[in-house]
């Protein structure tokens, strides 16, 4: 079985090097806006809705400064991802009650549940690496963030 790679679905124009959002809703909105065209939806609010519906079940703030907001969107043909970093950190109802700094939003087609788990698992594997998280926090630009994610994705 072929590995699900992050870089198959993340594009540089969907990386935000410094999120302006200061709470869960504003971060989700900001990361959803960059996905709007890729998801072929009429408004970014459609993406925000599926993400927040999922958040109602359980926060996707998994601790260690990481959050993986995700949801399924009707009519989507393939996964779309965005990534954002908040140097200050955001309260994302994280399991460890600490600020969240690194966010991957994953929007999946309704019918790819197993693949969705594989992609989320891969992102968690990469982000659980402390030195990788540190390198992401130290990156100085969108290009550098994208490059570091790409390099790490190739390792596994």
User: Into how many domains does the chain fold?
Assistant: 1
Among 9, 6, 8, CA closest to 39: 9
Residue 75 lies in a domain: yes
pTM for the model stands at 0.94
Examine residue 16 and state whether it is found in any structural domain, yes or no: yes
**What is the domain range of residue 139?**
6-155
Query: At 88, which CATH number?
Result: 3.40.930.10
- Rounded alpha-carbon distances, angstroms, from residue 90 to 24, 57, 129, 150: 7, 20, 20, 25
Q: Whole-number mean pLDDT of the chain?
A: 92
Residue 2 has pLDDT above 60, yes or no: no
pLDDT on residue 3 = 64
Distance in angstroms (rounded) separating the CA atoms of residues 152 and 75:
31
3-state secondary structure of 2: coil
pLDDT category of residue 115 using cuts at 50, 70 and 90? low
| Cβ contact 57:21 at 8 Å | no
Quick check: is 1 in a domain? no
Which residue's structure tokens are 């393939």?
78
pLDDT (mean) for 72-82: 89
């Amino acid at each position: 079985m072929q590995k699900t790679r992050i870089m198959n679905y993340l594009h540089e124009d969907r990386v935000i090097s410094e999120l302006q959002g200061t709470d869960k809703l504003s971060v989700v909105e900001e990361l959803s806006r960059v996905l709007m065209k890729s998801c072929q939806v009429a408004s970014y609010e459609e993406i925000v809705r599926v993400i927040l519906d999922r958040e109602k079940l359980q926060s996707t703030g998994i601790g260690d400064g990481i959050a993986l907001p995700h949801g399924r969107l009707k009519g989507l043909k393939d996964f779309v991802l965005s990534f954002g970093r908040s140097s200050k950190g955001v309260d994302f109802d994280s399991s460890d009650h600490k600020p969240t700094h690194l966010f991957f939003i994953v929007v999946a087609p309704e019918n790819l549940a197993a693949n969705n788990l594989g992609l989320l698992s891969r992102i968690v594997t990469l982000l659980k690496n402390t030195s990788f998280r540190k390198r992401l926090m130290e990156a100085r630009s969108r290009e550098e963030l994208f490059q570091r994610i790409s390099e790490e994705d190739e390792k596994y």
